[in-house]
Every structure is written in structure tokens, then in C-alpha cells.
Chain A
Amino acid sequence: MDFLRPASWEEALAAKAEHPTAVPIAGGTDVMVEINFDHRRPEYLMDLNRIGDLTEWEVGEDTVRLGASVPYTRIMENLDTELPGLALASHTVASPQIRNRGGVGGNLGTASPAGDAHPALLAAGAEVEVESVRGARRIPIDEFYTGVKRNALAPDELIRAVHVKKADGPQQFSKVGTRNAMVIAVCAFGLALHPETRTVRTGIGSAAPTPVRAKAAEEFLNAALEEGGFWDNGKIITPSVAKQFADLCSAACNPIDDVRGTASYRRHAVGVMARRTLTWTWESYRGTRRAAKGAA
């Protein structure tokens, strides 16, 4: 095993081009466990901690450019207004110690369906900025996950940042685990309301081979909200609409039975989380509307 210590992003890209099998390591949450437990013996280990750029973020007009290694703790503490869904998801990641070191780049690189950031990124809308010596590109988050623990990265590419849409409405994230802290998701659900476009987006974790959106559920809800004039009248969403949305979210799952939970439970739980997060976000939207009216 060789240990590569690029001091800059350019050096890292050059090293990855020269050694496409090099395994990048930043927070170490996944890679070190694989090494400690003898599941993996990479030829090259490439430390990304020396590249300061990766731990920085920039709040732009419409998006936040989030460095791949910005620790979850920073996201929780500094970006809960701009990225509320991701901040909530970050808070559920493993333990404080791991949140202090792990970042979204690791979740994306591993591309485990159980990664906590995925549902929030899917719901918010995001693009993954990847680069190689051949050049940079942005991969829409919907196209990023290609299979179980597989993503759209080419062997010579590294994840530099994620461009996440700034919240234009309430967002929620909810995750089921069989422990009240420090637990891998049995399944997870992210929901974002986008009042500007009058749309909702969802993200489901750990209930299909990849993180997925419940697109039929989104379409149903978009139509139902539009039809009922809900975005304007701010009425309470009827239980039947919420139930239909929840059922469609359950239907979007393609889960397996494993040691963490049954497929049947996962479908069920995603439905419950979908209904609850819809209630929470919609209540919040109505509250904001009322507050805005009151101010006006």
C-alpha cells in the first residue's frame, strides 16, 4: 500500500490520473473500517485532508457550493437556513466524532443506499461537481447513483463539491433506525417544498438498490396541490391526499429483507415518514405564509 498526500487539488487529480485505483480518504468513516476489518487493501490510499478547498463552502445566489469534505458538524451549525434538509440529515449521521470528520463527498463516493445525505440532496436538488485531469463536469444528483454502491464517477475522477439548491421552502428529513442515535438507516426519507416552482421533491434512502426519488408521488402531490390551490390558499392538506402521497412513496421503494429490517417494514416506514414530513413541511409553509401576511 502506498500513501499519497497531494497538497493541492491539481496534485490530487494528477495522482488519481496516474493511479486510477487510488482510494481517496477524507473522513475515513468507510475506508478505515474496510481497512481495519481487512475487507479492502487498496494499492494506493490518497489523503484529501490537505486540500483546504474541500472543506470550504460558498453561499451563492441560488445554490450553495459545498466542498466535498465540509464536515457534517459544520453543515448542521452553519447551513441550516440554506440547506435545512441536509442539515437535518447531517445531524443523524453516526456520532458527533464522525460528524466532525465526515462529509458529503464520502457519502457520494461510497454511494451506499444507506448514506444519510442522499435523500436530502435528492429532495433539495443538487449537482455533483467532479473533476479529472481531463476536465470538470457537473452530474445532476438524479443521475449520480448508478447501482448498489456504484456512482457515475469515472475511475480518474474525484468529487470536488456539491452544488445544492438553496431552500426556497421548508424541508424535512427523517430516518428510521433501531437505535436512538448512532445508527445506520433502516430507511430514510427527505422532502423539500419548492414554493417558487410550486413543486415538491423527495428522496428515499436504504429502500432500493440506490437512493431514489418517489417521482410518481411527487407528480401526484404537485398536481393535487395545484388543483386545490393549496400553494395560494395555504389550506391544510387533506388526509386523503397525504395518504395517497404516502402510499406512492411506499410504492417507489424496492427494498430487500436484511439484518437491519424487512422489506415490508421499509415500505411501511417510508410511507409513515412521507406523511409526517409532508405534514411538518406543509405546516411550516402555512406558518411562513401566515407570518408573511401578518407582516404585510
Chain B
Amino acid sequence: MRVNFTVNGRPQEADDVWEGESLLYVLRERLGLPGSKNACEQGECGSCTVRLDGVPVCSCLVAAGQAQGREVVTVEGLADFAKQRACGTGSCGGTSLDEAKRWEADGTDSQTGEGTELAPIQQAFIDAGAVQCGFCTPGLLVAADEMLERNPNPTDADIREALSGNLCRCTGYEKIMDAVRLAAARQSEGV
């Protein structure tokens, strides 16, 4: 079957989709968006978390056909998504001439992504040491970003509850807690 939906603001079309395929499979194998991860395919680990019409869901539990006509945001689109949200709340201006020039001069380092514009939660994960193997990271970022959108000043218990659907095997979660606290603090300082 054919499935059409929007991913990270762009219309996408997948052809010859087997009816039993998940949204996760279509994103990863048909649309070239492997950022959402395939760790358990049973809704237990959260590595495949995406936003479906704004709501965080496990994309492994969404049949591809159910995504028809819907809007999906994946980790690949998180930075843009966060930027647009910030613009929506009036906390960003247009690109200044200076910024445009710097962009020209630096560009993105294609090898490390240095210079890539990140969502605040992405930067916080790097800064706090919340990334080790990184396989849980995309799902955690999508879930944490959405929590901070709803609840800008979470308590530790709030953070733990919101992220309780995302397993991490490397970090013991302490640095993930640090990262979310850091992102929340930066957000409230307007940094």
C-alpha cells in the first residue's frame, strides 16, 4: 500500500508498504530517517519515540497505515521543531545579517556535526554527559523535549515519571536527570 504523511514538516510518500510494517520501519528503512531507534519493537524501551500529531508515541506500535495523513516529528526534526516553538513564543528573531555571515563562514562540519544548530535539550544532553552509546538518546530527547514543553519547571519526580517509558542501559540515568534539569534551567533563564 501507499502511505502519505508529513515528517518534520515535509510531505513524504512511501510506496509498496507491507501492511504489517510499523511507522518505525517506514521511517528507518523507506524514508532514510534512521534516527528513531529499533531497540525492542514492543513498546517497552521508548527508543523509537516520535511525536504523532504532537503526542509522544512509540513508533514501533503505530501501524504504518495509521500514520496516513498525520504529522510526525522525529529526532532528526527536533532542532527545527524546537526553534519554531521558540519563535512561536516570541523568543527568537529572524536570522541577523551577522548570523547569516557566520553560517556562511563556518557552515556545518559534516564530520562531527559541529556547528549544527541544536534544540536546547539536545545541547543539554551533550553538555551533561547524558550520551554514552546513544541508542536510547533519540527517544529520550523527543520525550524530554515534550515534557519541558508541558512542564517547564519539573520536579525530579516529574522528570522520572515522564521518562519512565525510556530505557537506558549505559548511564544509570543520573546524567540524563542532569541534562533535563540543565535544559529546564536554561529554558527558564531564557538562555
A and B touch in the complex (CB under 8 A): yes
- A interface with B by C-beta (< 8 Å): 1-3, 5, 25, 27-29, 31-33, 35-37, 41, 45, 47, 49, 94-98, 100-101, 180-182
Bound state CA distance, A177 and B19, in angstroms? 34
Asked if residues A37 and B55 are in contact (CB atoms below 8 Å), the reply is no
Measured CA separation A31–B60 after assembly (Å): 11
**Contact A41 to B20, CB < 8 A, known contacts A100-B55, A101-B55:** yes
What residues of B have a CB within 8 angstroms of the CB of A1 in the complex?
A: 18-20
Query: Which single residue of chain B is at the shortest CB-CB distance from A100?
Result: B55
Smallest CB-CB separation from B52: which chain A residue? A101
The answer to whether the Cβ of B65 comes within 8 Å of any Cβ in the partner chain is yes
Instruction: Indicate if the CB atoms of A37 and B42 lie closer than 8 Å.
Output: yes
Determine whether the beta carbon of B61 is less than 8 Å from that of A28: yes
State whether A96 and B66 are in contact (beta carbons under 8 Å apart), knowing that A37-B42, A182-B44 are contacts in the complex: no
Cβ proximity bits B48-63 to A, threshold 8 Å, 1 near / 0 not = 0100100111101111
B residues in contact with A49, CB < 8 Å: 66
B162 proximal to A (CB < 8 A): yes
Quick check: A37 and B63 within 8 Å, CB to CB?
Answer: no
A134 to B166, CA, bound (A): 44
Closest to B65 in A: A3
Query: Which residues of B come within 8 Å of A, CB atoms?
Result: 1, 18-20, 22, 41-44, 46, 49, 52, 55-58, 60-63, 65-66, 68, 143, 160-162, 164-166
Partner of B61, one of A2, A41, A47, A98: A98
Task: With both chains docked as a complex, state the minimum distance between the C-beta of B79 and any C-beta of chain A, in angstroms.
Answer: 21
- What is the CA–CA distance of A95 and B43 in the complex, to the nearest angstrom? 8
CB-defined A-B contacts under 8 Å, sample of 7: A1-B19, A36-B22, A96-B56, A100-B57, A180-B164, A181-B160, A182-B165
CA distance in complex: A1, B52 (Å): 24
The answer to whether B164 and A36 have CB atoms under 8 Å apart is: no
Q: Are B162 and A32 in contact (CB under 8 A)?
A: no
List the A residue with the shortest CB-CB distance to B48.
Answer: A97
State the CA gap A229–B63 with chains docked (Å): 55
Contacts of B68 in A (CB 8 A): 5
Contact status A97-B56, CB under 8 Å = yes
Q: Is the CB of B66 within 8 A of A25?
A: yes
Contact A45 B62 (CB under 8 A): no
CA distance in complex: A172, B128 (Å): 40
Apart from A3-B63, A35-B20, 12 more pairs, CB < 8 Å: A25-B66, A27-B61, A28-B62, A32-B60, A32-B61, A47-B65, A95-B164, A95-B165, A96-B161, A96-B162, A96-B164, A100-B57
| Complex contacts, A37 vs chain B, CB 8 Å | 41-42
Judging by beta carbons under 8 Å apart, are B63 and A32 in contact?
yes
- Whether the pair B46, A95 counts as a contact (CB closer than 8 A) is yes
Instruction: Kindly list chain A residues whose C-beta atoms are within 8 Å of the C-beta of B49.
Output: 97
Beta-carbon contact of A96 and B165 below 8 Å: yes
Docked Cα-Cα span, A158 to B117, in Å, equals 48
- Min CB gap B75→A, angstroms: 14
- A98 to B165 CA separation, bound complex (whole angstroms): 8
Query: In the bound complex, do residue A97 and residue B57 qualify as a contact, i.e. CB atoms below 8 Å apart?
Result: yes
Closest beta carbon of chain A to B128's beta carbon, Å: 21
**Which residues of chain A are near B19, meaning CB under 8 Å?**
1-3, 45
| Contact B65 A5, beta carbon cutoff 8 Å | yes
For B1, what are the chain A residues with a Cβ–Cβ distance below 8 Å?
Answer: 3
The answer to whether A101 touches B20, judged by C-beta atoms less than 8 angstroms apart, is: no
- Write the chain B residue with the least CB distance to A41: B20
A28 to B166, CA, bound (A): 18
The answer for the CA separation of A32 and B20 in the assembled complex, in Å, is 8
- Residues in chain A near residue B46, CB distance under 8 A: 95, 97
Question: A37 vs B38: C-alpha distance in the bound complex, in angstroms?
Answer: 13
For residue A98, which residues in chain B have a CB less than 8 angstroms away from its CB? 43, 58, 61, 165
A33 engages B164 (CB within 8 Å) = no
The 9 closest A-B pairs by CB, nearest first: A95-B165, A181-B164, A1-B19, A28-B61, A3-B19, A3-B65, A36-B41, A32-B61, A33-B42
Enumerate chain A residues within 8 angstroms of B58, measured Cβ to Cβ.
95, 97-98, 101
Closest residue of A by beta carbon distance from B167:
A182
Chain B residues whose CB sits within 8 angstroms of the CB of A35 once the complex forms: 20, 22, 63
